[in-house]
Structure 1
Amino acid sequence: MALQKSNAPAPARHEVRRTSAGVRKVTEYQAPGYTIVGNHLTQHRSLSGLAIGLAAHIQSLPEGAPVDIRTLARRFPEGRDRIAAALRELEANGYLERVRRRTDDGRMVTLTISYNDPEATRARRAREDAEQAKRRAAVAPPPPAPARAPVRKPPRPVPSAQPSRAPQPAPAPQQPTPAPQQPPPAPQLPEPATRAHHTPAAALLANLRHDDPRLLLSVRDIERLTPPVAAWLERGASREAVRRTLTTGLPAALHRPAALLAHRLVELLPPPLPAADASPDARARPAPLQTCDGCERAFRAPVPGRCRDCRHPAAAP
């Protein structure tokens, strides 16, 4: 039997190589519960490290999780001001969108939308808009051709009367053939100037079924009627006024609800609001709505910042 040598060198467990400085990645298999983040975000040139980390954290959260500044400040050691600045960076670069919605009881709430690839989202929406415009062009009837004026033939010369023959009567002039009547063109649905009111307009159309079950619209009808409803909202009409116009006085037999709604949206379209009076006595326009960097509450102010309760916490009830 061979003797074991206790002073024999131990085999090397790791091979040491001379490589250049830099990162070396060790990739392991991960169980379910991971988030896919694109390099366009993690290697973004304009975003700060805090903004990139917050974007990855928000994308890893489940649908409906709170992502307001106060919740994120409790989760991370950074303060509210730094987190608010990072969220504004994500908004400026398209990775985050905070929209304000009015609930049924009249309260204003902030809805946060996170985009994992803003460029791909914009390209998809552009393709959908182009396809929708192509479908509208295919459905709209072609304009009627202008009716041509009938060509009158010159009357035939009347032969001179001869004593042995009776005078022949002159031929009656030919009546012009009436041009075939073309069907009237379909009414053109109004289009809004911007897409700012598309989301509340689509929600209004989808909720018409609660007023009358016969107003249950398909997805295609809602997409076709959303721009004219947005044009009403853009012209200053309230959502309640639009709903009342579309649901009041419906006929007893309603076979095509989408066609009836389109007719009312075209025929009863209100005029645009007049331009604001430039005189000194004209009422000042209210300041725009801002999102508070401290409590995420909507308030009116000329520039972003904090609301009155966050600026003066002692005065709050």
Structure 2
Amino acid sequence: MDTPQNTALTRALTELPGPLPVRGVIHIVIPHTDRFTVVGNHLAQHAGLSTTAVGLAVRIQSLPQGTEIGIKALAARLSEGEKLIAAALRELEAHGYLRRARTRLTNGRVVTRTVFCNQPTALLRNRVGATRPQRPPAPPQAPALPDVQQEQAPEAPAPQDHAPEAPAPQDHAPFVARVPPPTAPRQPSPPLPQPRELTAELDRAATALLSDLRRHAHQLVLSENDIRQLAPAVAAWLERDTHPDTIRHTLTNDLPQPLRHPAKLLKHRLTVLLPPPLPGADDLAAPARPRIAVTPFQTCDGCERAFRAPTPGHCRDCRNAHSPAQAAAA
């Protein structure tokens, strides 16, 4: 039985304007009219968050106001376990998207309030601007955060709970944005390893190994310029007595799909996976044990009893016995 084809999707592809890319994803964008949530690329493409944390953040943004988002409440609705959900919530809290604080209500009940912000950096800018001194003093503004939801099920509120209550000081603490700005400088990549001496034999072997890679992995098609740049790094591996089969396996094993930049991948692997030089025979030899000086046995000149001493003489008892007599003679 043939695999069913999505004819509607095929027709939509033919209606896209302009030429289609030969590889990579092709987007068919249909505007939403209801039941949608706006998610920023700063969250969807966040490099510091795991895929689970990003998906959980999108799920939380899509929930109605007042929905419980505690660990047990989320685990009851999702397929992930409590440990995975707790780890994702900690990630979101570390990057400023989530904040949990304990506060006391007017009836004396202590609850945990959870606040989720879809743009922590924008919220931080608003908070900093609001803390600047103004003259004349402006009337107090409503907090910029949305109404918070409680992780614990509250008791039936008393009539006086509807009166406006003074928020606790910790509810107005600004978010600390830990998302790096888009203009943050990138760390420079480490340089390619270089051999101590690039001989003609090493250069020829390294060039041949790089040129032959496409026979073992068709994605690794390198230009002559790429081979000239990478040959010294391969020569450094060969100089450290690395077998060519080992280098070839390291460079061709478990390649990403699709592989867009073969030369960059090889440069990364040649740099970060460079093995150390082989140790010499002296390095592998067991360290010599320290010699312990042993005091030899001596025979006492007085009582002929054995005792330990560096030089011949009398034992301790004989020395003690002769000392008073020597003192009296003196």
Common fold by TM > 0.5:
no
Question: In terms of Rg, which structure is larger?
Answer: 2
- The higher relative CO (CA closer than 8 Å, separation ≥ 6) is in 1
TM superposition score normalised by structure 1: 0.38
| TM-score normalised according to structure 2 size | 0.36
